[in-house]
Amino acid sequence: MILDTSEGIYRAHSKHERKNGQTETVCSVHQGRCASNARPCGTPDTLTGTAKLSKHDVFCRATGRKVAFTKALASLPRELRRALWQSYLAQHPVVRTKAA
């Protein structure tokens, strides 16, 4: 996913995996072009965040992406995190459902 901010163009990749009976989502975020078309792309200075699902939780791709994305951005300045989240949410709007 391409995230366009005033600070520049960032790219975010997420991957969902099942390892040893546990599901995890890994999100990689980097500035500029990808080093290759493979995933992970191998770009230097990539920030990575991982969300691990408990055996008692229900798997949801959107939630896993958001948790992993949050962890990947943790070391960035607040204003850059805010700009990246605004770009992310413009592409993945929050869908609210009514409680039954």
> What φ, ψ does residue 44 adopt, rounded to 5°?
-65, 160
Q: Within a domain: residue 97?
A: no
Q: Within a domain: residue 98?
A: no
Q: Within a domain: residue 99?
A: no
Q: Within a domain: residue 66?
A: yes
**The two structure tokens encoding residue 35:** 């080093």
pLDDT tens digit sequence for 49-98: 999 988 888 888 889 999 999 999 999 999 999 999 999 999 888 776 66
Q: Within a domain: residue 53?
A: yes
The β-bridge partners of 8 are 5
Beta strands in 1-100 (DSSP E): 2-5, 8-19, 22-31, 47-52
Structural domain that includes position 74: 2-91
pLDDT tens digit sequence for 43-61: 888 999 999 988 888 888 8
pLDDT of residue 7: 87
In the chain, how many domains are there?
1
- Kindly tell me if the per-residue pLDDT of 100 is higher than 60: no
pLDDT of residue 99: 58
pTM: 0.85
| Residue length of the chain | 100
